[in-house]
Copies of this chain bind each other. A is one copy, B any other.
Amino acid sequence: MKSGTDPDFALQLAVERLHARYAHALDADRLEEWPDFFTEKGRYRIATAENEERGLPLPVLYAEGRAMLRDRIASLRHANIYEPQRYRHMVSGVLIEPQSGSLVQSTSNFLVVRIMQDGATLLFASGRYVDRIALPEMKYEERVVICDSRRFDTLLAIPL
């Protein structure tokens, strides 16, 4: 990990902006925009920290390519039509590592709260995003969501 000297400030802010736009799209229930944050063949994976550390290739969820991401959203819309829950994504500690002129890696922490219909607010998920971002289009070539908890209820949840 490089120290604080000579980071690429413009790229840092551009990556933070991408993460912010992603979070706002989900929290505003604009789920149909979600696939467009990925490249055409972009990959999305949810894993648990426990499995990730053990090298177990058991994603909680895996989708590859915008078509599959769109299917996922279509399923959610069908299943969740009567579930008026809300989510709020907080992102923090964005670190970038430029790999080349066309790729930057990013690691960041997240915390998601879920607001139930009766108004109760719960800690829903925490963890880190490990991303590969394609330049200059600023889209996720890969977004890996590594959740701290082994407990999950993401089948009927919006993407993290």
Query: Can you list, as one digit per residue, whether each of A110-121 has a CB less than 8 Å from chain B (1) or not (0)?
Result: 010101001111
**Complex-state Cα separation, A75 to B125, whole angstroms:** 30
Known: A17-B95, A19-B93, A23-B93. A88 touches B115 (CB 8 A): no
Q: Is the CB of A113 within 8 A of B123?
A: yes
**Complex-state Cα separation, A96 to B111, whole angstroms:** 22
Q: Which residues of chain A from 1 to 30 have any CB-CB distance to chain B below 8 Å in the complex? A: 1, 3-5, 7, 9-10, 12-15, 17-21, 23-24, 27
Known: A138-B4, A138-B5. A24 touches B92 (CB 8 A): no
User: A29 → chain B, closest Cβ, in Å?
Assistant: 9
Q: Is the CB of A113 within 8 A of B115?
A: no
Q: Which residues of chain A from 80 to 110 have any CB-CB distance to chain B below 8 Å in the complex? A: 86, 88-95, 107-109
Could you say which residues of chain B place their CB within 8 Å of the CB of A23?
A: 92-93, 109
Q: Is the interface of A mostly helix, strand, loop or mixed?
A: mixed
**Complex-state Cα separation, A51 to B44, whole angstroms:** 33
**Complex-state Cα separation, A108 to B91, whole angstroms:** 11
Closest to A84 in B: B50
Copies of this chain in its oligomeric complex: 3
Interface size on A, residues (CB 8 A): 52
**Complex-state Cα separation, A1 to B138, whole angstroms:** 14
Q: For A121, give its contact among B13, B15, B18, B123 (CB under 8 Å).
A: B123
Question: Does A154 lie at the interface of the complex (its beta carbon under 8 Å from any beta carbon of B)?
Answer: no
Stretch from A56-64, A65-73, A143-151 at the B interface: A143-151
Question: Does A43 lie at the interface of the complex (its beta carbon under 8 Å from any beta carbon of B)?
Answer: no
